[in-house]
A and B are shown apart, each in its own frame.
Chain A
Amino acid sequence: MTIAPKYRPFLTLYYREIRRFLKVLVQTIAAPIVSSSLYLLIFGVSLGGRINLESGLSYLAFLIPGLVMMSVLNNAFQNASSSVVSGKFGGDLEDWRTSPLTPRAILWALSFGGLTRGFIVGFITFMVGQIFYLNNHGSWLAVAHPGYLLIFLIIGGLSFSMFGVSVAFWSKTFDHLSAVGSFVILPLIYLGGVFFSLEGLHPFWQTLSKANPLLYFINGVRYGILGVSDVPVETSLIVSGGALIIFYFIALRILNTAEYTRW
């Protein structure tokens, strides 16, 4: 099979993205093992024993899908944004701009790069979760709807890669980037229902949470793994799909108008 020349720039950049995070393989794999183990140990096992959910699920089971999606989103965002920021310093952005890579090709290549890393880390998180689950319940956690799970992971990974690309192109300094991380992403993820269920919340907070798009991302994954969630899966699908489309057009606009010159 030969690949038409016009797709080669895109595939090359995607390949380069993968090679880039493979160079920091230990960081890619070890960091999520440590962080997800900590979450599972502290929240899932030690606090989780004292929490009862109305749905009858164990808190540990409830927590695992949220942690998986959190890994995917964080890693997609980080991978894509750090690629752009280091490209700004190194001059890679200029190379991309002056080569036949189109803004659309750049966006998709970076997004698939982020998604791939998100998948790897998400899978590792899931396996760590499984070990904790096996240890506590004596059985593996079965995946209820693999198809939905895959769709939500893809939507989440792509959306957050595109978000990462946008923020990185817009940022003028590393501080901008980390400010977005700690003032936007972290709160959205934490308040998006990774650690708690809507059902226990005061109606005011329920309404507020429902305005957070990440609630739908996370509940979509929860439905994919556990078969139950706070939000109907159709709603999750529509909102997350809509969010992806919005992220895509914002990112594309930024790439079309941004400066590619060095810092």
Chain B
Amino acid sequence: MDVSGKSPLKIEKLVKKYGNFTAVNEVSFEMKPGEIFGLLGPNGAGKTSIISCLVTLQEPTSGHCEIFGYDPKVNPEYTKVLTGFVPQELINHGFFSIEEILVFHSGFYQRWHNKERIHYLLKRLGLWEHKDKKVKALSGGMKRRLLIAKALVHEPKLLLLDEPTAGVDIELRASLWDFVQELSQDGMSILLTTHYLEEAESLCDRVGILQNGNLRTVGPTRELIEKLTERKVHVFFDGVCNEEISSPYLRNREDNQAEFVIPHGVGVGDLIADIQCNVHKILDIKIEEGSLEEAFVHVLGEHQ
């Protein structure tokens, strides 16, 4: 199926209610081909509910979703082959070995004779030596990796990862994110949810922040951070500097250093010029950029 150039995911005014409770409230956003998109938000924000609508596990109450131009409700036969899905909850198939599960899963996705791909994924995800075990004999992190292998057997064009690294140790998490990046470089579009904001910051091209079912903001990760956070500038002086510093941005002043917080848009040069300090007395300048976590906290705080 040729999907080049089409938007991998488009959500318009999606609403999901459970009874009277609104879990997702008129959420709209669109993904760009090949990007890694982070859907962030505290527990219960509605991330899983959105993904469930995309994979037909839940029916939207109203609104519209499109995967490469196809509505999952109208053309599931297309959206399902195009999508790989890693659920948040661990599965526990009782009867079969890891390899058998992957063989069946390939078949469900219309692929027979898929050994090569299955073996590649088993090795890539560090499950090769466990391939003859049953699911219940795996640790939580291994089960998580099995879920990822399952989602990839049919080489989907859009990958939906609902907390793929929950319960995975640091080292493996890093290698999983490497893998995600590699998939993205091969042209796969990826939507992920995670509570590890530092990792989201380095990984995601764009993020959306959900709170109580409302999409509070969406945009390129760097831009959001710049817009929503401030930079910290530490100026270190050579020896004790007794000069009076008057600047609206000054936060903290000690004998041989000063700390400023400047909004984006104000340059560091402007700041230095502004404080009228003898440039020769400045030993060092350290700039701390804002983080996604700060932006996140800021966005959630705005709507308390």
B-binding residues in A (CB < 8 A): 3, 5-6, 8-9, 11-13, 15-16, 19-20, 23, 86, 89-92, 94-102, 260-262
Interface of A is mostly: helix
Interface of B is mostly: loop
**Given contact pairs A20-B95, A86-B94, A98 touches B85 in the complex (Cβ within 8 A):** yes
A-contacting residues, B66-80, CB 8 Å: 76-77, 80
- Nearest first, the 8 A-B pairs at minimum CB distance are A12-B107, A91-B91, A99-B108, A5-B110, A98-B55, A100-B80, A8-B110, A90-B93
> In the complex, are the beta carbons of A95 and B56 less than 8 A apart?
no
> In the complex, are the beta carbons of B107 and A90 less than 8 A apart?
no
B81 adjacent to chain A (CB < 8 Å): yes
Q: How far is the CA of A16 from the CA of B77 in the complex (A)?
A: 21
> In the complex, are the beta carbons of A100 and B108 less than 8 A apart?
yes
> In the complex, are the beta carbons of B107 and A15 less than 8 A apart?
yes
Q: How far is the CA of A6 from the CA of B110 in the complex (A)?
A: 7
Chain A residues with Cβ under 8 A from B76's Cβ?
Answer: 100, 102
Q: Please give 5 more A-B residue pairs, beta carbons under 8 A apart, in addition to A99-B105, A261-B57.
A: A8-B111, A11-B107, A23-B95, A91-B89, A100-B77
**A105 → chain B, closest Cβ, in Å?**
9
Chain B residues with Cβ under 8 A from A5's Cβ?
Answer: 110
**Given contact pairs A97-B57, A100-B77, A12 touches B104 in the complex (Cβ within 8 A):** yes
Q: How far is the CA of A132 from the CA of B227 in the complex (A)?
A: 86
B263 adjacent to chain A (CB < 8 Å): no
**Given contact pairs A97-B57, A98-B56, A98-B57, A9 touches B93 in the complex (Cβ within 8 A):** no
> In the complex, are the beta carbons of B57 and A260 less than 8 A apart?
yes
> In the complex, are the beta carbons of A90 and B91 less than 8 A apart?
yes
Q: How far is the CA of A260 from the CA of B112 in the complex (A)?
A: 25
Chain A residues with Cβ under 8 A from B128's Cβ?
Answer: none
> In the complex, are the beta carbons of A8 and B105 less than 8 A apart?
no
Enumerate 25 A-B pairs (CB-CB under 8 Å) in ascending A order.
A8-B110, A8-B112, A12-B104, A12-B112, A13-B107, A15-B107, A23-B95, A91-B91, A92-B93, A94-B57, A94-B87, A94-B91, A95-B91, A95-B108, A95-B150, A97-B56, A98-B80, A99-B80, A100-B76, A100-B80, A100-B110, A102-B77, A261-B57, A261-B58, A262-B89
Q: How far is the CA of A262 from the CA of B58 in the complex (A)?
A: 12
B92 adjacent to chain A (CB < 8 Å): yes
Chain B, residues 224-257, CB within 8 Å of chain A (1/0): the string is: 0000000000000000000000000000000000
B29 adjacent to chain A (CB < 8 Å): no
Chain B, residues 91-125, CB within 8 Å of chain A (1/0): the string is: 11111100010001111111110000000000000
Q: How far is the CA of A6 from the CA of B56 in the complex (A)?
A: 19
Chain A residues with Cβ under 8 A from B108's Cβ?
Answer: 9, 12-13, 95-96, 99-101
Most chain B CB atoms below 10 A, which of A8, A12, A13, A101: A12
- Which residue of A has the minimal Cβ distance to B85? A98
- Which residue of B has the minimal Cβ distance to A98? B55
Q: How far is the CA of A19 from the CA of B94 in the complex (A)?
A: 13
Q: How far is the CA of A23 from the CA of B100 in the complex (A)?
A: 13
Most chain B CB atoms below 10 A, which of A5, A100, A102, A262: A100
Q: How far is the CA of A90 from the CA of B94 in the complex (A)?
A: 7
A-contacting residues, B167-208, CB 8 Å: none
Chain B residues with Cβ under 8 A from A96's Cβ?
Answer: 108
> In the complex, are the beta carbons of A91 and B87 less than 8 A apart?
yes
**A257 → chain B, closest Cβ, in Å?**
10
**A258 → chain B, closest Cβ, in Å?**
12
Chain B residues with Cβ under 8 A from A12's Cβ?
Answer: 104, 106-108, 112
**A98 → chain B, closest Cβ, in Å?**
4
Q: How far is the CA of A261 from the CA of B87 in the complex (A)?
A: 11
- Which residue of B has the minimal Cβ distance to A89? B92
> In the complex, are the beta carbons of B112 and A16 less than 8 A apart?
no
Q: How far is the CA of A102 from the CA of B90 in the complex (A)?
A: 23
> In the complex, are the beta carbons of B81 and A100 less than 8 A apart?
yes
Chain A residues with Cβ under 8 A from B100's Cβ?
Answer: 19
